[in-house]
Amino acid sequence: MATPVRTTENPRGTDSNRMTLARHILESQREHPRARGELSVVLLQLAFAAKVFSHALGRAALAGQLGSTGERNVQGEATKKLDVFGNDTIVDAFARNELVAAIVSEEMTEPRQIACGTRASYVLCVDPLDGSSNSDVNGVVATIFGVYRPPRDVGAAATVERLQSGRDQVAAGYIMYGPSTVFVYTTGSGVHGFTLDRDIGEFLLSHPDIRCPQQGPYYSANLANVPEWDESTREFIRHLAARSDRAYSLRYSGALVADVHRILLDGGIYLYPADRRHPGGKLRLAYECAPLAFVVEQAGGSASAGMSSVLDTPFESIHQRLPFAAGSRDEVAMFDRFIRDRC
Ligand code: AHM
Ligand code: MG
C-alpha cells in the first residue's frame, strides 16, 4: 500500500504555517523590546483598510464607482470617486481609535486631527489612490503610506507642524492593487512584501527581504515631458536610450508605485524630475516621495531629489512637491552626476 503523502497544505493550497502579515509585524515588534505595539496596530489597520479598498476596486465598475466627482482637490486635480472612497476608507480605519494624532492625505486640504489631547505618537501621511488616472481603465493603482513619529513634548500628542523630514518615518510602504493585491512595508529592518490571499482574507509573505539590484535594465519616466525638462535631465535620458548595447528598456505605467515596484524588484530608475509646469517637481514629498524613498533605501537602492536627499529634505508644507528619482544605486548615482556636472 502506498504511503500517504503528508502535506501541511490545506485543500485550497494555502499552507497554514505560512507567515501572515500580522505575525510578521508582531515578530518584528519583538526586536524592539521597548515597543508598546502601537505601530503594529497602525500597520494592521492599514492592512485592514487595504482589504476593504481592494474589494471595492474589484467591484468599482459594477458599483458605479468609476469616473470623477466633478470636484477638484487641493492640488487642482480632478477628484475621482475612487479618490474619495480610498480617502474615506483610510480615515474611517483611524477615526475612532487613538492610534494616530493626525492624518495628512493627498485628498484633504488640511490634516485631519484624530487624537487631539491624547499621547498618540504618530502622524499618518497617505496617498489613498496613487495613479488615479489608471483607475477608470482597469490599470494598476496603489495606496502609499508613511507613518511618522515627529519629535514632541513628553506626554503630548504628535503634531503635523512638528514633522521635520522623511527621516521622521518609523514605517512606510505601499499597497499595490494589480492582478494581485500586494502589501510592501518597512520599519527600518528591510523590506517585505505580502500578497493577499483572497480566499482566506490574509496577506501572506510572498516577497521576503526585497533587495533592489545595484543596477538594472529599466528606466521609467513620462517622456512626453522631455521638452519641459532641463538640459541635464534630457541628456541623462538620451544617454540611457542611446546605449548601443540596448541596455535599457522604457517602462511607464502612470502609477508611481507600479513603476517603482518593478524597479525595486528588477532594477533601474524611476524619474519624475522638475519640468516647466512643475518647477518644484510633481510628486508630493510627505506621502509619495519620502515613503517610497524609505522603502527603496531599505532595499539597498537610492532615492534622490537631484542635488539633495529626499529623506533629508526639510518639510515646509504638507503638500509640498519634490523632483524625484529612485531605484538602483548605479542608475541613481549616474542621474545625480548628470545633474551635478551641469551645475
Ligand atoms: P496621483 O496621486 O494623482 O495619481 O498623481 C501621482 C501620479 C503618479 O502615480 C505617477 O507616477 C504620476 O503622477 C503620473 O503623472 P503623469 O501623468 O504626469 O506622467
Ligand atoms: Mg498620488
CATH code of the domain containing 314: 3.40.190.80
Give the domain extent around 259. 218-341
Are both 159 and 224 inside the same structural domain? no
| Grid cell for residue 221 | 519616466
Cα distances from 266 to residues 14, 214, 218, 290, in angstroms, run 27, 10, 8, 21
Does any domain span residue 322? yes
- Pair (199, 257) in one structural domain: no
pTM, two decimals, is 0.93
The mean pLDDT of 12-39, rounded to a whole number, is 84
Domain identity same for 187 and 231: no
The answer on pLDDT for 7 being more than 60 is no
Q: Which ligand is nearest to the CA of 324?
A: 1
Is pLDDT at 4 greater than 60 in this prediction?
A: no
pLDDT at position 117 is 58
* pLDDT for the residue 9: 46
* Ligand 1, pocket-test mutation among 125, 282, 284, 322, most atoms within 8 A of CB: 282
Is 299 found in the same domain as 168? no
- Considering 152, 176, 207, which residue would you say is the last residue of a domain? 207
Report the run of H or E that residue 182 belongs to, with start and end: strand 181-186
In this structure, is residue 13 part of a structural domain?
Answer: no
Share of the chain above pLDDT 70, in %: 95
Least confident of 30-44, 120-134, 140-154: 30-44
* Pairwise CA distance, residues 17 & 205, whole Å: 11
Q: How far is the CA of 81 from the centre of ligand 1 (A)?
A: 17
| 171 and 87 fall within a common domain | yes
Residues 172 and 234 in one domain: no
Q: State which ligand 1 atom lies nearest to the alpha carbon of 131.
A: 4
Mapped onto helix, strand or coil, the DSSP state of residue 249 is: strand
The reply to whether 45 and 142 lie within a common domain is yes
pLDDT band at 343 (very low <50, low <70, confident <90, very high): low
Asked whether residue 224 falls in the same domain as residue 142, the answer is no
Ligand 2 centroid, distance to 139 Cα (angstroms): 15
Please tell me the total count of domains within the chain. 2
CA proximity to 280, closest of 321, 324, 223, 310: 321
Query: Does 335 fall in a domain?
Result: yes
Give mean pLDDT, residues 112-121.
Answer: 80
